């Protein structure tokens, strides 16, 4: 990196906010997809929009690629560089600028941690609905970039449905202020387009979010399935709950390996160790609504063979049941040192057959599969436990991952429900979209970023343009 | 009809047949009004592509049109040389009730979608007053339905779509799944894009469970502000109505639409009665298309209502004022359709904090940076400049 540029950047945002020493840069060489890594040349930590814009104007002058980054909890390699460039992280932008209880919105810095937003508005009996498993670490800006979901997306939808406005710094360093909360967009829906663009359009520095009123009553349920076909029957129960029109706020499935890992970890939730699958269900609303829906779900799951049905008796038990679910990825560290978290979507009527298909694929490659997923949305997370120090095993993981995605797309599904395409799935995006589709997306990308300096090599392949890409994933490139 | 228009008409007739080109407005076929620009109705996607090829080769601008129920919301027609009607581009492509998704051709009337969904125990939203409105038209005009308070705007229901950007290029984004973040959400631009970014061919909507019970109730209130005050108490309660409206004509009425599990509706009715003892059951009320709709935030509902009331008084037209505090919206519904320009020419200065959604000519106060970016995105979506702006 040009020393003169580093000095200029230090003048703009201070020496402490410019990370250039090799040891500190290591933290930024990958996101939570540790399989792929590449060093950043420099990391910048601007504290606000003005500092970010000043840095990005300078980087534009030097024509340097920029990789936006939140907390680095993403699972597709989207927040790490692929061929040098500068990482601009929002981790110092943790401000809560305003909370408007009557109008149901808040304006916050992009680096605010997801759970801290809900804490900030709790006194107003409001909460922020999207709740990724990483919500204790992931940032609102990162959620915007990936259009993140979470268990309660079943009722409340993904991030895009909760974003009312943004402040975006363009690759040229211009500030686009779209932060005024709007009932409907003025003209082209720039905010709607930006959400889910995975850092390829610009850097979001401020976010105006919609807040939801806290429900009067919340009940958390656990339906336990045992026996060889327990996972099948758990899947059937989910499909049936949706088919009959019951409306819980979250429906999650955890399989036996996940249950065992959770119960042996510090996240132990009291899931029955011998179970082949559990359904973790949450119901919210008025007392009448919650009681009625819970009764209907209990009757339905028992009819479909649930061996046990439990209702959390108090807040402590409720919290514990969810801690187990949210800590499941971490708990899998007990099974193997690394975890490949696949993220595919299938039609909700095909849950049983597609979960079976993923199990069969993992078995064929001799891999250990733990499944925990947002069943209500058809969003599968087949998690392959492996050791990345073993190149041969890593190669099998990559191949199995691709095969799982292909099977899901073939069944009418999608490559990603909440993690994004990033670097990981770039090679498979052609399974979903034609060249024309991708070209249309490419033109929109060029409208935001004419020189393709924002997060190059991610999200969509721009075949007509020069991409700084180390190529889509392959067994050989995984380290 | 000018020579150019005559030429266009002949070219259109040669492409799709004389019987599929009209110069009379479909929304009033028996009227004396003659359109200055013809509408061509392609029978299928192939013909639609041919029409766009014609536009490209002859340097013409086109504008898609649905059933004509929201004519005031279209992009201005003056710059279009011909319209493409989606009447024949209709039918269901995929409907799986248990998946909760419905994919249909853009020209399919919303009425058909609602009926089909209901047969499968599902509900389509938005529920529109004009049930003959097409799926594509509803998306292009980002229609607000009767049930937005409960389910959110149409853009939250739109899971994906496919559009023709030119004769050769069709563009798909999103998909037929309730959750999917692959690729950029270009469908968000088409939603409310007023047909300026392509001809929507097909779209997928998220469906909701059918309501076990529904109930409309109403009560006369002293005036608009008293109605809004009561509406806000309802909105602050635990009830989740489909809508809460204050309707002002000769008298002022507070109307509430409840729906859901039967026991929940009964519960909510008790809550409503505790807030306003004079609520009585009412028949469902259907409103026509607004000539004017303004939005703000909930905290601005009183100002919004007062300002919209002033607009209404200034229009010297017979209109109903409908204020929906829950979605911070006010609409003026005329007793008879009127031209868009009539309203826009009579709008006074817009107070800060209020956004006029319609008509389109009203300046929005966007910054030059935002306008430039919008322009760049518009060019990206309409690379050949075929669609009227």
Boundaries of every domain in chain A: 3-89, 96-213, 217-330, 336-410
- Assigned domain for B345 exists: no
Residues in chain B, how many? Answer: 389
CA count, 13 A, side-chain hemisphere, B116:
20
8-state DSSP, B75: P
Map tokens 């009447």 to a residue: B87
Residue B145 and residue B134 share a domain: yes
- Assigned domain for B48 exists: yes
Residue B143 and residue B89 share a domain: yes
Chain B, nearest residue to A103 by Cα: B298
Please state the domain count of chain B.
2
Residue B242 and residue B120 share a domain: no
- The two structure tokens encoding residue B38: 């013809």
The per-residue pLDDT for B361 is 42
The per-residue pLDDT for B372 is 94
- B220: nearest Cα among B308, B272, B271, B279: B279
Residue B272 and residue B158 share a domain: no
- Assigned domain for B32 exists: yes
Domain final position from B158, B186, B210:
B210
| Helix, strand and coil percent figures for chain B, each rounded to 5 | 35, 25, 40
Mean pLDDT computed over every residue of chain A: 93
- Assigned domain for B303 exists: no
Say whether B153 and A184 touch across the interface (CB within 8 A). yes
Chain B, nearest residue to A289 by Cα: B264
B90-129, pLDDT tens digit by residue?
Answer: 999 999 999 999 999 999 999 999 999 999 999 999 998 7
Check pLDDT > 60 for residue B28. Answer: no
B144-195, pLDDT tens digit by residue?
Answer: 889 999 999 999 999 999 999 999 999 999 999 999 999 999 999 999 998 9
Say yes or no: A50 contacts chain B, CB-CB below 8 A: no
* A335 upstream amide cis, omega within 30 of 0: no
Give the CATH number, domain containing residue B44: 3.30.465.10
The per-residue pLDDT for B373 is 95
Between B25 and B19, where is the model more confident?
A: B19
* B126 upstream amide cis, omega within 30 of 0: yes
Check pLDDT > 50 for residue A393. Answer: yes
C-alpha distances in Å from residue B239, one per residue of A263, A468, B213: 39, 53, 14
The per-residue pLDDT for B144 is 87
Residue B254 and residue B206 share a domain: no
Q: How many A/B residue pairs have CB atoms within 8 Å? A: 227
Check pLDDT > 50 for residue B264. Answer: yes
Rounded to whole angstroms, the Cα distance separating B195 from B274 reads: 46
Say whether domain A96-213 belongs to CATH 3.60.15.10.
no
Say yes or no: A158 contacts chain B, CB-CB below 8 A: yes
B2 band by pLDDT with thresholds 50, 70 and 90: low
Rounded to whole angstroms, the Cα distance separating A301 from A309 reads: 8
Architecture of domain A336-410 in this structure: 2-Layer Sandwich (3.30)
- Assigned domain for B3 exists: yes
Between B68 and A449, where is the model more confident?
A: A449
List CB contacts (< 8 A) between B240 and chain A.
285
Domain interval for residue B239: 213-281
B78-87, pLDDT tens digit by residue?
Answer: 678 999 999 9
- B71: nearest Cα among B127, B12, B28, B125: B28
Contact A426, A415 (CB under 8 A): no
Check pLDDT > 50 for residue A190. Answer: yes
- Assigned domain for B381 exists: no
B359 band by pLDDT with thresholds 50, 70 and 90: very low
Rounded to whole angstroms, the Cα distance separating A6 from A52 reads: 15
B199-224, pLDDT tens digit by residue?
Answer: 999 999 999 999 999 999 999 999 99
B102 to chain A, minimum CA–CA distance in Å?
A: 12
CATH class of A217-330: alpha beta
- Assigned domain for B343 exists: no
All residues at 6 or more sequence positions from A392 whose CB lies less than 8 Å from its CB, including other chains: none
Rounded to whole angstroms, the Cα distance separating B314 from A368 reads: 72
- Give mean pLDDT, residues B241-259: 96
Residue B239 and residue B192 share a domain: no
Residue B245 and residue B120 share a domain: no
Q: Angle at Cα B213 formed by Cα B209 and Cα B214, nearest 5°?
A: 100
* B359 upstream amide cis, omega within 30 of 0: yes
Residue B266 and residue B176 share a domain: no
A97-132, pLDDT tens digit by residue?
Answer: 999 999 999 999 999 999 999 999 999 999 999 999
Say whether A432 and B327 touch across the interface (CB within 8 A). no
Does A96-213 match A3-89 at the fold level?
no
Rounded to whole angstroms, the Cα distance separating B158 from B155 reads: 5
Map tokens 């052609």 to a residue: A430
Say whether B369 and A174 touch across the interface (CB within 8 A). yes
Domain final position from B175, B210, B245:
B210
A251 to chain B, minimum CA–CA distance in Å?
A: 14
The per-residue pLDDT for B280 is 96
Beta bridge partners of A109: A206
Q: In sequence order, which ranges of chain B are alpha helices (DSSP H)? A: 3-16, 45-58, 110-119, 135-140, 148-151, 187-190, 224-236, 262-275, 301-315, 340-344, 368-381
Instruction: Tell me the Cα Rg of chain A.
Output: 22
Check pLDDT > 50 for residue A475. Answer: no
Say yes or no: A433 contacts chain B, CB-CB below 8 A: yes
Rounded to whole angstroms, the Cα distance separating B246 from B222 reads: 11
Chain A from 62 to 91: CB within 8 A of any B CB: none
The per-residue pLDDT for A478 is 39
CA count, 13 A, side-chain hemisphere, B164:
27
Architecture of domain A3-89 in this structure: 2-Layer Sandwich (3.30)
C-alpha distances in Å from residue A457, one per residue of A97, A405, A453, B161: 34, 20, 10, 26
Contact A417, A161 (CB under 8 A): no
B90 to chain A, minimum CA–CA distance in Å?
A: 22
- B183: nearest Cα among A430, A32, A77, A253: A430
Between A1 and A432, where is the model more confident?
A: A432
A214-225, pLDDT tens digit by residue?
Answer: 999 999 999 999
Contact A112, A87 (CB under 8 A): no
- Assigned domain for B124 exists: yes
Q: In sequence order, which ranges of A328-455 are alpha helices (DSSP H)? A: 328-331, 351-364, 391-410, 435-448
B316-348, pLDDT tens digit by residue?
Answer: 778 899 999 999 999 888 776 554 444 444 555
| Identity of the residue in B98, B121, B380 whose CB atom sits nearest the CB atom of A443 | B380
8-state DSSP, B215: E
- Give mean pLDDT, residues B51-56: 97
All residues at 6 or more sequence positions from B266 whose CB lies less than 8 Å from its CB, including other chains: none
């Amino acid at each position: 990196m040009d020393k003169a540029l580093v000095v200029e950047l230090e003048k703009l945002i201070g020496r402490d906010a410019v990370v250039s020493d090799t040891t500190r840069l290591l933290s930024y060489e990958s996101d939570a997809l540790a399989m792929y890594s590449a060093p950043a040349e420099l990391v910048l930590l601007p504290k606000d929009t003005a500092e970010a814009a000043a840095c990005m104007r300078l980087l534009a002058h030097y024509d340097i690629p920029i990789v936006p980054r939140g907390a680095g909890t993403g699972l597709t390699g989207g927040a790490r560089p692929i061929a040098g460039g500068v990482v601009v992280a929002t981790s110092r932008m943790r401000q809560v600028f305003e909370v408007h209880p009557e109008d149901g919105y808040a304006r916050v810095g992009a680096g605010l941690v997801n759970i801290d937003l809900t804490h900030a508005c709790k006194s107003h009996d409001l909460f922020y609905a999207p709740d990724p498993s990483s919500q204790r670490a992931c940032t609102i800006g990162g959620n915007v970039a990936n259009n993140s979901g979470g268990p309660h997306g079943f009722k409340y939808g993904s991030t895009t449905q909760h974003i009312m406005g943004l402040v975006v710094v363009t690759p040229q360093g211009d500030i686009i202020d779209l932060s005024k909360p709007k009932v409907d967009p003025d003209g082209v829906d720039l905010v709607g387009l930006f959400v889910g663009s995975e850092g390829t359009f610009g850097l979001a520095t401020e976010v105006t979010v919609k807040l939801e009123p806290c429900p009067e009553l919340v009940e958390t349920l656990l339906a336990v399935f045992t026996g060889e076909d327990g996972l099948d029957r758990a899947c059937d129960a989910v499909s049936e709950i949706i088919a009959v029109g019951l409306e819980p706020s979250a429906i999650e499935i955890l399989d036996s390996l996940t249950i065992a890992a959770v119960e042996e970890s510090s996240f132990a939730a009291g899931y029955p160790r011998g179970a082949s699958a559990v359904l973790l269900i949450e119901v919210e609303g008025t007392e009448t609504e919650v009681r009625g829906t819970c009764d209907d779900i209990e009757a339905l799951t028992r009819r479909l063979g649930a061996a046990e049905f439990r209702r959390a008796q108090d807040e402590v038990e409720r919290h514990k049941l969810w801690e187990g679910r949210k800590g499941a990825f971490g708990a899998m560290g007990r099974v193997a040192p690394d975890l490949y978290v696949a993220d595919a979507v299938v039609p909700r009527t095909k849950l049983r057959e597609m979960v079976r298909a993923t199990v069969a694929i993992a078995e064929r490659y001799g891999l250990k599969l733990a499944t925990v997923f947002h069943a209500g949305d058809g969003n599968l997370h087949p998690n392959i436990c492996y050791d990345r120090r073993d190149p041969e095993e890593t190669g099998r993981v990559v191949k199995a991952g691709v095969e799982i995605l292909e099977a899901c797309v073939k069944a009418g599904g999608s490559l990603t429900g909440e993690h994004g395409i990033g670097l990981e799935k770039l090679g498979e995006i052609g399974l979903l979209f034609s060249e024309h589709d991708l070209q249309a997306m490419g033109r929109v990308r060029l409208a935001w970023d004419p020189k393709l300096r924002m997060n190059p090599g991610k999200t969509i392949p721009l075949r007509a343009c020069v991409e700084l890409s180390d190529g889509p994933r392959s067994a050989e490139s995984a380290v | 009809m000018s020579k150019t228009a005559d030429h266009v008409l002949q070219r259109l007739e040669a492409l799709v047949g004389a019987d599929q080109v009209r110069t009379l407005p479909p929304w009033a076929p028996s009227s004396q009004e003659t359109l200055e620009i013809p509408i061509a109705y392609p029978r299928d996607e192939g013909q639609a592509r041919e029409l766009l090829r014609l536009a490209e080769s002859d340097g013409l601008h086109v504008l898609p049109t649905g059933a004509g129920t929201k004519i005031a919301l279209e992009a201005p027609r003056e710059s279009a040389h011909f319209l493409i009607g989606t009447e024949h581009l209709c039918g269901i492509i995929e409907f799986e009730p248990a998946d909760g998704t419905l994919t249909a051709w853009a020209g399919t009337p919303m009425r058909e979608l609602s009926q089909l969904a209901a047969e499968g125990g599902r509900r389509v939203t938005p529920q529109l007053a004009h049930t003959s409105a097409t799926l594509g038209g509803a998306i292009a005009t980002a229609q607000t339905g009767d049930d937005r308070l409960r389910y959110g705007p149409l853009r939250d229901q739109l899971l994906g779509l496919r559009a023709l950007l030119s004769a050769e290029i069709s563009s798909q984004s999103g998909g037929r799944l309730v959750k999917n973040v692959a690729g950029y959400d270009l469908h968000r631009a088409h939603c409310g894009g007023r047909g300026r970014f392509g001809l929507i061919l097909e779209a997928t909507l998220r469906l909701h469970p059918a309501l076990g019970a529904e109930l409309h109730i109403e009560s006369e209130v002293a005036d608009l502000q008293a109605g809004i005050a009561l509406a806000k108490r309802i909105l602050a309660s635990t009830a989740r109505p489909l809508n809460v409206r204050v309707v002002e004509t000769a008298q002022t009425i507070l109307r509430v639409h409840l729906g859901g599990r039967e026991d929940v509706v009964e519960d909510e009715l008790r809550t409503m009665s505790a807030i306003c003892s004079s609520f009585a059951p009412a028949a469902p009320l259907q409103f026509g298309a607004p000539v004017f709709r303004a939005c703000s935030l909930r905290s601005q509902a009183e100002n919004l209502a007062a300002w919209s009331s002033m607009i209404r008084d200034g229009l010297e037209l017979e209109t109903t004022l409908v204020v929906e505090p829950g979605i911070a919206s006010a609409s003026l519904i005329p007793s008879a359709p009127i031209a868009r320009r009539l309203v826009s020419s009579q709008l006074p200065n817009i107070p800060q904090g209020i956004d006029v959604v319609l008509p389109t000519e009203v300046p929005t106060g966007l910054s030059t940076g935002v306008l430039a970016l919008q322009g760049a995105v518009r060019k990206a979506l309409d690379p050949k400049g075929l669609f009227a702006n």
